[in-house]
Structure 1
Amino acid sequence: MHELQRFVRRLSPDERVQMICDPSLVESASEVVTGDGGRPVPVDRFDELLAETIGRSERSQWPKESVSDAWLAPHLHNLLRLTRAQASDRATWEWLAVRAAPYVRWRWQDKGGVVAEDRWRGPVHKQALARLWWGAEMFRDGADYRPVQQAFRNQDLPNSLLHRPIVRCRPLALGLVQSLLSDDQPPTSRRINDLARAVNLATAGSPPEAETGFYRDDLGGYRRWVADGAAPVEDWDAGVPGPSVPALPEQSRTAGLAIADRGRQYAERARSAR
C-alpha cells in the first residue's frame, strides 16, 4: 500500500523539478499523513485514477483539457478519501501534485511548457488537484455528484466561487450553481463574480445558515465513508457515488436557491445602473 504524505518544507521550483525527475528524493522532504486512529491514508486508488486520466488524455478522450474536470472531480473525491482538515493542507496537495506531475503538466502547462506555481501549491480554487476535490466536496448533494459535474462544465464557476466563504454553506452553494446555470447562455466570469459579491452583501448581518434552516452535514456518516476507503473501479465510465450521507432537505434547498436568486436580482440591478 502506498501512503499519503505531505512535504515538511516548502519546495523551490528547482527542487520540485528534481523530485519529479527522481521520485526517490521525495522521501527526504516528506512525512506520512495519518487519519483516525493514526492509520495511514492509502493513495493506490488515486494512482489508478491518474493513470486512467493520462490514458484518456493520450487517446484524446476530451476535446480540450478543461473538459476533463467534470469527469475527474467526482472520481478524485470518491477515490481520495480525506477529511476536510487533511484536505486543507497545501503541503499535502503539493505532494500529490508532484506524484501526479504528468497530469498537472497536461492540464495546466502553457504554450511554453510552464506550469504556474499556484497549480503546484496554491489556494483551493487554483491548485491543480485541490480545486477538483474541494469542488466535489462543496457542490455535491449528499451522495449525488451531478451538481459537481454541472459546476465544472463552466470553468468560471468553480474558479470564481470555490475560495469564497459563502460556498461553505452547502444549501447556498447548490443554490448558486442552480441559479447560475438556469439561463440558456453559460454565465460569464463577470456575472458569477457580480453574483458572489451581491450574495455577500445580501447575507451581511444575516448568515445564510440562518435562512437555510441551520443545515448541518452528517459528519459521522462522512467520517465512516472516509474510514471505509475506496473500492476498486470496475467501470470508469459508470457514475460514482459520493459519501453515504443524506441529500439536502427540500426546505434548505429551496432557501439556498432563494438567496442565490435574490443576489442575482441585486447584481442585475447594479449592472443596469452602471
Structure 2
Amino acid sequence: MSVLVPADRPPVFALLPDVAVTKYLGRGIQSGLELPPQVALARACVAYDARTAERRRTAPVRELLDEAMNRFAGDRSAADGWLAPRIHATLRMTRAEAADNRLWNHMAMIVAPDYVVWRHKGADTAEGRGIAAAARFSGLHYTQAFSRLWWAGELFRDGDDYGPVVTACRNQDVLNTTMRLDVIDHRPTAQAMIRVIGGFLDAGIPRPGDHVNAFSAAVNAAGSTLMYDVLAEDTDPDTDELLEWIEAGAGEVVDWDRLPEGPADGRVGPAGVDALMPLFEKLRGEAPLRQRRSAGEGKEENAPVPAPRAPGVVLSKPTDFV
C-alpha cells in the first residue's frame, strides 16, 4: 500500500481542536494520496505546558507505529493487539488526560496520518480508491485510530498485566462493541467478560464476532437490572501508584518483543470475577445470535452455541479518572 508519510514531525504532541480536523480533512488525505496541511494545522494547535510536554514526546510513539506497519503488513488488524499495550505504556497519562480527543486529533493528522490510512483504509474498487473513515482521524474513544488502542490498554489491563489486552484485541468486535459499554468501567465485569470471550475464541467457534456482540449485549442488558458491583465488589485502584508510574517512565521506548508492565495500582481480586462467572456463562449460552442465512441451504441461523469452558485467563482493569 502506497501512502504518503510526513517528512517532518513535531518533537512533542499538542492539542488539535476538532474544528481544525473538520476544516482540512478531505478524501485525498483519507485515501493517503495527500498529506494534511502541516503548517496550517500547527497554527491551530494548543501546546501542553512545559512539564506535561516532557512526557509527550512523539518519537517513541512514531517508532512503535513504524514497527507495527513492518511487522503486520500482511494482517493489519493483528497490529492492534501488539500496539494497544505499548501505546498505553508509552503515552502514560490519566483517564482525564486521555479523554481529551485533541491529543488523538494531533496524533492522527500531524504525527501519523499514514498509519491511520494504512490501518483503516478500505479496499480500492472500480469506483475509486478506498479511504479511511473520518472517524478514524477524529472520533469517539472506541473509533478513533489511536484513542481506541489506548483505551483498550486501559480498560482491559489487570493492573500491571497487559495480557488481557492482547486477548481483547484478538477480535475487532471487542473494540467496536464491548469497549463502548458502560459496564466495562466495573473492573470485575470487564475481566469476567474477557475470560468468557477468551474462552470461546480459544475454542475456535465459528462467527466469533457475532458471539462477542450477542454476549456483550446480554451483559449490558442484564446490567440495567442487576448491580454487578453488588455481586462482585471492587476496590479502588491505587492512585498514588498510577501517578508514580506515569512520572517514572512516560515517553520511554518499550520492549518490542515482550509485553511492558503497566502501573502496579492493584489487580482485581479473583473472587469478584469468580462470583460473576456463573451468570456470565449463562448469559453467554442464552444470548441470541444475529440471524444469517447459511451459504449452502439458505436457512437462517439463530441458535446459541453452548458456551465452552473458559480457561483461566488473567483479566484486566481500569482506573478511576484522576
TM-score class normalised by the smaller sequence: 0.7 to 0.9
CA distance in 1, matches of 2:254, 2:143: 31
Alpha carbons of structure 1 residues 231 and 116: separation in structure 2 relative to 1, 3 Å: closer
Which of 174, 185, 190 aligns to 2:204? It is 185
* Between 10-19 and 200-209, the greater mean CA deviation after superposition: 10-19
- 2: CA distance between counterparts of 1:241 and 1:217? 16
C-alpha distance in 2 between matches for 1:62 and 1:255: 41
How many angstroms apart in 2 are the aligned matches of 1:2 and 1:50? 10
Aligned with 1:251 (options 261, 266, 271): 271
Letter in 2 for 1:247: R
Following superposition, the deviation at residue 197 of structure 1 comes to 2.0
C-alpha displacement of 1:95: 1.2
Residue in 1 that maps onto 2:310: none
Paired residues of 2:153 and 2:162 also in contact (CA < 8 A) = yes
**Residues 197, 41 of structure 1: CA spacing in aligned structure 2 closer, same or farther, 3 A cutoff?**
farther
Structure 1 position 191, deviation (Å): 1.9
2:53 is paired with a residue whose SS is coil
Q: For 2:204 and 2:24, how far apart are their aligned partners in 1?
A: 44
Alignment partner of 1:43 out of 56, 75, 89: 56
**Alignment of structure 1 residues 29-40 onto 2, 5 Å:** 29-34=44-49, 39-40=52-53
Distance between the aligned counterparts of 1:256 and 1:221, measured in 2? 27
CA-atom RMSD, angstroms?
2.8
In the aligned structure 1, how far is the partner of 2:97 from the partner of 2:269?
27
Please say if 1:149 is aligned against 2:166: yes
For residue 181 of structure 1, give the secondary structure of its aligned residue in structure 2.
helix
Shift of 1:14: 5.4
Q: Secondary structure at the match of 2:15?
A: strand
- The equivalent of 1:219 in structure 2 is 239
1:172 Cα offset (Å): 0.7
Whether 2:185 is the aligned partner of 1:197: answer no
Following superposition, the deviation at residue 3 of structure 1 comes to 3.4
State whether residues 123 and 163 of structure 1, in contact with CA within 8 Å, keep that contact through their aligned partners in structure 2: no
Once the two structures are superposed, what CA deviation does each residue of 1:64-116 show, in whole Å capped at 9, x if it has no partner?
11011111000000000121011112222111111211211111112224110
Q: 1:34 to 1:208 in 2, by over 3 A?
A: farther
CA contact (8 A) 1:198 1:267 kept: yes
Equivalence for 1:69: 80
Report the counterpart of residue 17 of structure 2 in structure 1.
8
1-structure distance, mates of 2:208, 2:122: 22
**What is the letter of the counterpart of residue 122 of structure 2?**
D
Query: How many angstroms apart in 2 are the aligned matches of 1:219 and 1:117?
Result: 35
Write the letter of the residue equivalent to 1:66.
S
Match of 2:114 in 1: 102
- TM-score when normalising by structure 2: 0.74
Q: Per the alignment, do residues 216 and 262 of structure 1 end up closer, same or farther by CA in structure 2, a change over 3 Å counting?
A: farther
Contact kept in structure 2, 1:160 and 1:193, CA below 8 Å:
yes
Return the alpha-carbon distance in structure 1 between the equivalents of residues 42 and 164 of structure 2.
Answer: 38
Aligned residue identity for 1:75: R
1:174 and 2:194 are equivalent in the alignment: no
Q: Rg bigger for which structure?
A: 2
* Aligned residues of 1:171 and 1:255 also touching (Cα < 8 A): no
Corresponding residue of 1:164: 181
- Whether the 8 Å contact between 1:124 and 1:162 is mirrored in structure 2 is no
Cα distance 1:230–1:91, how it changes in 2: closer, same or farther (>3 A)? closer
1:86-101 matches, cutoff 5 A: 86-98=97-109, 99-101=111-113
Larger % of helix: which? 1
Q: Distance in 2 between matches of 1:100 and 1:269?
A: 38
**Relative contact order higher in (CA < 8 Å, ≥ 6 apart):** 2
